[in-house]
Structure 1
């Protein structure tokens, strides 16, 4: 089996490699190809990847190439984890929105739109290369903003599914608080990428079998303070909602406080850039043959476990089989208040036959209203990414619930375009 990783020069790739090595019984890879336009980084990461495979006695071959066509040729699955413009573009996404009184973040608000505009055309070009090489190959998208990028792929008819690590991270957190194995927990995780809530946490009986009970109320009662602290949201909010929002809801529920906070601290992009420099120095050490502890601070926790489980189910490999995972998938009535062509983040049955979302609970208007609003924004954002034009960028920004004011949308449009000229050919 051949897998390709586009964006393989990312400093986070060793987390993925470690998962491939540890979980080779679930996903038996014979050839892994890492591709990236940044050759020097790619070779550093590729060297460490080979050493990790060797240390864990993985029989697969790791190859590197700057040629995406060579990378995806005959691949059974292609993972996308690219960042157009690198950390420098991310630094801008986190800076200029703050100057306008808006949250500066790489997937939410104006910064998220900038990333979508840069990313969608590049991803679609790669997807066409995959389709020409092997139309049966699955594309697994981990590239942010995952919801918009996955929608772009699906609307072009690609065999794609979006993946985010928020759900698996919360599952592992809940399991640790409850003192149970994570395989016993199934999340009632519904919404859009980076705009989700846990509406239930089903605990399966010990030893397996049917049945189970919703332990979300006792989680909130016993561990609400810890959860609120980790999510950086007020404990009374969790108590009033009776659900667990994703971390990204703090940009909506505490927007002004977050803006003040971001003004007073170094950007996340600056932190990650410094971390990446140190990681690349470590990767150059020929004696290093495992992922360093520093990588845990880079972000994307449990990405490798989620990616392996998803690829194994989609490809029907040994021990992969069908399984339930939280993925980004076409709505098709799952959330009845959204159009069918929206992309939602929900639990789904995943197998070699495809991805089928599980039935959703009734979603209270408190959440459905925000989901609908952001879905409308994502549709306009995708239109701007596909067709360009200042007016389309402005419309997307004006529609976003964190912006929504004429003067602010005008200013943000000008600044977005000024900071992204080199990445937007239509300019």
Structure 2
């Protein structure tokens, strides 16, 4: 089986390669190809990934290339993890919005629309190539942000082999499992909503309800993603646990103030760290000096990851990472991340034991308040050749309201981007609850179109 990663020249590539190769047996993966159109970065991060792959499992054929058709030829599985426009465009997305007093966060915020303007057309082109040269029933796992919106666009275009994946729900579920001193086999919970806008309820251990324990345990509000939320808000929302990204909706003005008072945005932080890393790495022969290259890589990667959420919350992440040598990195047990989600999906889908996981897929009646074609983030049962969302009843009215508004935004945004329509784009951002203003939406859209001429030349 052949697995291809589109966006294989990204900074996270060595971690992604480790996860894929370490768990390749789960899905009978024998060939892995990392593809990226930035050859210079691919040579560094793809090169590091290849060395890691060979040291973990030399039986896996691992290659990297800038040729999309070559990479995707006869592929069985594809993971998309693109950042179209790079870190520079991300910083512009954020600043345009922030200067207008609007959250520019790259998935939930209006900045996500800027990223979608670049990501969706590019991924539609890749999907056409996949249709032409990959295996007939190739599966596509989209991790490109804003993941829910992008997955909706690809599904709307008829690419019914696309599944949105995100490691946020699975990581939070791991935190819940630790909080009740349980195991993945014993624990179950229903996730429902949209990507980066989801809730969790009906948590059980061996069929016994543990929601009250999770909702009222002080440690949960100190040492899990629930530390972003007040207990009173949880009660108001109907006593359900929440995806960490919901903080951007329920504490909107605090987040804007926090980011404005910081010296730089998250995107600007990443741009600086990555630029310093790349400058040090580009003069090194990765193949001959991989220990030195990996040491530089890991130093900057730790700085990047350990600063996650710091600007927006003012507190460090829960699980601070420690710098490792390449040997320590390879020996460290792998927790999977979004690659693990994809590989476990593959195993169950192609004929393994049925499993449950959170995916972004068409609703198909699981949340009755939304349309069947709406892509939702929801617990799913995966078994041979079939993916079934777990129905969710009795959803709190406030949650339904936010979901319906955001889906109206997403539907309109997809139409705007696929039809290159300025008017529809303004309409979409006017709907968005974190913008909710025609004048602001108009200003944001016009600045994006003007700035991204290489991507927006056909917009009208």
TM-score (norm 1): 0.91
Whole-Å separation in 1 of the counterparts to 2:276 and 2:379: 37
Contact map agreement 2:87 2:271 (CA 8 A) in 1: yes
Deviation string for 1:68-103 (max 9, x for gaps)? 111111000111000110111111111111111111
Taking CA–CA contacts closer than 8 Å with sequence separation of 6 or more, which of the two structures ends up with the larger relative contact order? 1
Where structure 1 has 5 or more consecutive residues not aligned to the other structure, the ranges are 205-211
Cα deviation for residue 364 of structure 1 reads 1.4
User: Could you tell me which residue of structure 2 aligns to residue 203 of structure 1?
Assistant: 205
User: Could you tell me which residue of structure 1 aligns to residue 272 of structure 2?
Assistant: 274
Q: Does 1:332 align with 2:364?
A: yes
> More deviation in 2-11 or 264-273?
264-273
Cα deviation for residue 278 of structure 1 reads 5.4
Aligned ranges for residues 8-19 of structure 1 at < 5 Å? 8-19=8-19
Q: Does 1:370 align with 2:441?
A: no
Cα deviation for residue 422 of structure 1 reads 2.2
1:232 to 212, 228, 231: 228
Cα deviation for residue 374 of structure 1 reads 0.3
User: Could you tell me which residue of structure 1 aligns to residue 458 of structure 2?
Assistant: 426
Whole-Å separation in 2 of the counterparts to 1:25 and 1:72: 21
Where structure 2 has 5 or more consecutive residues not aligned to the other structure, the ranges are 309-334
Whole-Å separation in 2 of the counterparts to 1:321 and 1:17: 25
Q: Does 1:314 align with 2:349?
A: yes
User: Could you tell me which residue of structure 2 aligns to residue 209 of structure 1?
Assistant: none
Instruction: Give RMSD over aligned pairs.
Output: 2.3
Deviation string for 1:322-373 (max 9, x for gaps)? 2111000011111111111110000111234131111213211110011001
2:255 to 242, 252, 258: 258
Structure 1 residues 91 and 230, CA gap change in structure 2 (3 angstroms): farther
Cα deviation for residue 149 of structure 1 reads 1.2
Partner-residue secondary structure (3-state), 2:26: coil
Contact map agreement 1:389 1:426 (CA 8 A) in 2: no
Whole-Å separation in 1 of the counterparts to 2:57 and 2:362: 39
> More deviation in 294-303 or 191-200?
294-303
Q: Does 1:399 align with 2:434?
A: no
User: Could you tell me which residue of structure 1 aligns to residue 328 of structure 2?
Assistant: none
Q: Does 1:412 align with 2:451?
A: no
Deviation string for 1:40-87 (max 9, x for gaps)? 111112222222122223410111111111111100011100011011
Contact map agreement 2:195 2:376 (CA 8 A) in 1: yes
User: Could you tell me which residue of structure 1 aligns to residue 209 of structure 2?
Assistant: 214
> More deviation in 378-387 or 102-111?
102-111
Contact map agreement 1:51 1:289 (CA 8 A) in 2: no
Cα deviation for residue 294 of structure 1 reads 5.7
Cα deviation for residue 37 of structure 1 reads 0.5
Cα deviation for residue 116 of structure 1 reads 1.1
> More deviation in 134-143 or 176-185?
176-185
User: Could you tell me which residue of structure 1 aligns to residue 331 of structure 2?
Assistant: none
> More deviation in 417-426 or 373-382?
417-426
Partner-residue secondary structure (3-state), 1:348: strand
